[in-house]
Structure 1
Amino acid sequence: MILTAAVVFMIVQTAMLMVLVARLAPGRHRRPPVPPRPMPRIDTTVSVIVATLNEARRIGPCLEGLMQQDCPLLEVLVVDSRSDDGTRELVQAAARRDARIRLLTDDPLPAGWVGKVWALETGRRAAQGDWILGIDADTIPAPGLVGAVIDAAEEGRYDVASFSPQFTGQRVAERFVQPAMLVTLVYRTGAAGAEQPPDRVLANGQCFLVRRAVLEAHGGYAAARGSFSDDVTLARHLAAEGARVGFLDGSRIIQVHAYDGLREMWREWGRSFDLKDATSRTRGWMDVLLVWLVQALPLPVLVLMALCTGGHAWGASAWPDMPHWLQVALLTVNGTALLVRLSMLSALRGSYAVRGIAYWCSWLADGAAAYRLTLSMARTPRAWRGRRYPPASDVTM
């Protein structure tokens, strides 16, 4: 029985490792991080939309960064959902300093919409720019961000382009766990900057650029109205409709300090990073299986092998009937998977402003990341950024 289980485990794990290698391989030719560019090469206009709900603690650096942007920034539409923590006053003060900033208030949330998506749709209806750039309130835009994203979109001939940030302000515990959670995204979707099929496209709503005409031609943000991973849902919807979609490395043009500690990150990001709103249930659970088999379990398997050898061939004492070829196969597959995982530390290092020993040891948190992904896939959020939502049948599309 143990032998049969070990053979099945090895076969499935090998298949998943092959899938992972094929998925990561295009990353060898991915584009380098997008550099800041104060002035783009083309003449165009951009409307920035910032959705807010009680963001007074975080929105200051975002507004300061946006005020440093040059052309083609036409306007900054801050769509607020009746904040009561001083957010509105901060935006109004910024608007007195920069006439491009406007404070809007969205209408009461319609049935079936998630709050952030409704705010974005409200901003979309008011926007005048040729491009719409969604920016989260917890981001810190670098000077030259707007010009950079426009040039990157034009150079790649993208209708939609989003940009991965550089994480900043993390405490030690976050730098230990969050990179492991981030790696699950890379394992499930591929590397930033690499071309992906529509159903594997990844997107980042913290910096999400789209041609206004393309967005309007496909119903605005309504395609993602009930999604808690609205960025990926919208990007995949537009890609399936024929839009050219890119996901690029924006670590040089935007930083994010999204969560105040490990507990909030585990709770808030952990609710949506499963991407189940943008992925079929079958594929979502297959991705969970992949993460367990080639990210979380290789280290425990190798440790178990080492403990069981006692200086001899693995299984000599615990599993005397284990064939040598199976021992070698398990060692090879799990050793290769661990080497791939360790290589991700180097590949993703630019995504963190501060790394330290916690980051370089984050592969030890892979089991926790796989566990959080499993929980996220199995549960539907009921609360998000200060709002409570009805059961999934009333929210999701």
Structure 2
Amino acid sequence: MNYADFWYVLAFFVLLSQIVATAILLSRLLKGAKRRSPLLPQVADPDLMGKVSVVVPTLNEAERISPCLAGLSRQSYELREVIVVDSNSQDGTPDLVVTAQQNDPRFRVMTDDTLPPGWVGRPWALHTGYLNISKHSEWFLGLDADTEPQPGLIASIVRVAEAEGYDMVSLAPQFILQYPGEWCLQPALLMTLLFRFESAGVDASSSSRVMANGQCFLCRRSVLAKLDGYTTAAGSFCDDVTLARNIATAGYKVGFFDGSKTIKVRMYQGAKETWHEWGRSLDLKDAANSSQVWGDLLFLLCVQALPLPMLLLSAWLLYFGNTYPTIVTIFSLNAFLSLLRYGMLIAIAPSYSGSSFFFWLSPFADIPAVLRIFLSSLNKPTKWRGRSYL
């Protein structure tokens, strides 16, 4: 085989892989056309009174938790209590909760016990909160400290869960971004999830494809009791997805909905923090077997990382007269994938608070985003939210 034949065979192999991956992608995106509309805030009725206990895990969240506390105070009587489980913060986080408690007696703060072997801090704090919620609450709602619950959030999510028989529901929030770098990188990282899993508002076809978001994670207390709280996700750095898939595997009905009109979140400050903190868990290897992780990575390579460079390369070859059918097909397919990518960008624009010119440049961050998933797949995190796990 000469040099030219080698590159032709390689191009044909890449094209074949992209065709298969594109078919898989389209089968997922077409389901999204019939997805549930975003949940809307609802006013609580008396029959919801005291049904929900909220648990918020914290570790040095003083700079971010105030909007969360304020948003929870605006929830109605469906909210029985808010337990903030603090992991020995050194920045005054518990003091903010105590101050909030003076105006709203539903708040209380507690400190979790020393982290046991085999546990990651976040699931341990949530498990501690679960063990301490009222036995009269029917629902457990885990919320992250960086969220901004909107009025009517809890009534909305409980209403849909009860009306449609869901045992666990989590919400995709509306993201708050500020700096140019994160406006480019964060949507590209989000797209790695949208390409691999069903759209928010579409029920997963199997437990291995269940998606969940621990920033807003509602579950029947009785279901958590049968799974012994967060025990099955104790050592997971993506405990939300791990627990949700375990719940689905146990035969319970699990949903993942668009909550962009009911909850907002400011996750990370800038592109650097987004790259390190969010990127290290997006491979979801704690919730999947290795074949799924690496299969998904190959899939992302074909439909997200390669389209732009393959489009440019094939356009260059066509310009210089290389009109082989394989080259023409590569150009056409990757032009389609690039247009599809921008179409997806338009579709997710409502998932972001405000707008930025740099948002529309995020497809140029697709290669770094897929690279981040690859790097994360190679290594297990050793640090998370200021804690070391060695």
TM-score range, shorter chain: over 0.9
2:19 to 14, 17, 38: 14
2:195 aligns with: 187
- Contact 1:81 1:119 (8 Å CA) reproduced: yes
Percent identity between the two aligned chains: 46
Matched residue, 2:216: 207
Separation in 1, partners of 2:60, 2:48: 35
- Secondary structure in 2 matching 1:51: strand
TM-score by length of 1: 0.94
Q: How far, CA to CA, are the matches of 1:178 and 1:189 in structure 2?
A: 17
Matched residue of 2:44: which SS? Answer: coil
Q: For residues 55 and 84 of structure 2, what CA distance do their matches in structure 1 show?
A: 6
1:238-264 residue CA offsets vs partner (Å, 9 max, x unmatched): 001101000000000100011111111
- Which one of the candidate residues 246, 255, 270 is aligned to 1:246? 255
* Aligned-partner Cα distance in 2 for 1:356–1:54: 30
Distance across 2 between alignment mates of 1:231 and 1:251: 18
* Structure 1 residue runs without a partner (length 5+): 315-323, 391-397
- C-alpha deviations, 1:42-98, integer Å up to 9, x for none? 435100000001100000110011011002100000000111111011111111111
Note if contact 1:36-1:253 (Cα within 8 Å) is conserved in structure 2. Answer: yes
1:160 match: 168
Instruction: Give the whole-Å Cα distance in 2 for the aligned partners of 1:309 and 1:377.
Output: 36
- The TM-score, its normalising length taken from structure 2, stands at 0.95
Q: Distance in 2 between matches of 1:310 and 1:252?
A: 47
**Match for residue 280 of structure 1?**
289
In structure 2, the partner of 1:94 is 100
Q: Which moved more, 1:285-294 or 1:302-311?
A: 302-311
Answer whether contact 2:192 2:370 (CA < 8 A) is retained. Answer: yes
How far 1:336 moved relative to its partner? 2.1
Alpha-carbon contact 1:79-1:123 (below 8 Å) kept:
yes
Q: Which residue of 2 aligns with 1:395?
A: none
Q: Decide whether the 8 Å contact of 1:7 with 1:326 is kept in 2.
A: yes
Question: 1:195: Cα distance to partner?
Answer: 1.5
Question: Which residues of structure 2 form unaligned runs of 5+?
Answer: 1-5
Kept in 2: contact 1:49–1:132 (CA 8 A): yes
Q: Secondary structure at the match of 1:104?
A: strand
Cα displacement string for residues 196-240 of structure 1 (whole angstroms, at most 9, x for unaligned residues): 121101100000000000111122111110000000000001001
What is aligned with 2:228? 219
Matched residue, 2:29: 24
Q: Deviations over 1:346-385 (max 9, x none)?
A: 1111110022211122111111111111111111100000
Give the whole-Å Cα distance in 1 for the aligned partners of 2:162 and 2:359: 34
Alignment pair present for 1:259 and 2:264: no
Q: 1:345 to 1:198 in 2, by over 3 A?
A: same
SS, match of residue 353 in structure 2:
coil
Distance 1:174 1:223 in 2: 33
For residue 29 of structure 1, give the secondary structure of its aligned residue in structure 2.
Answer: coil
| Deviation of 1:313 (Å) | 4.0
What SS does structure 2 have at the residue aligned with 1:271?
coil
Q: What secondary structure, in the 3-state scheme, does the structure 1 residue paired with 2:53 have?
A: strand
Identify the match of residue 130 of structure 2 among 112, 120, 124.
124
Moved over 4 A (4+): none
Q: Residue 63 of structure 1 corresponds to which residue in structure 2? A: 69
Query: Quick one: distance in 1 between partners of 2:153 and 2:115?
Result: 31
Secondary structure of the equivalent of 1:69?
coil
Letter aligned with residue 35 of structure 1 = L
| Structure 1 pair 344–2 and aligned structure 2 pair: CA distance change class (3 A) | same
Contact 1:136 1:206 in 2 (8 A): yes
- The DSSP-based 3-state class of the residue aligned with 1:215 is helix
| Contact persistence 2:314–2:328 (CA under 8 A) | no
Matched, 1:198 2:204: no
Q: Is the 8 A contact 2:318 2:328 kept in 1?
A: no
CA deviation vs aligned residue, 1:1-59 (integer Å, no higher than 9, x gap): 11111111111111111111112221111001100113158435100000001100000
- 1:143-199 alpha-carbon deviations (Å, 9 max, x no partner): 111101111212332100000010114312111110000000011112111111211
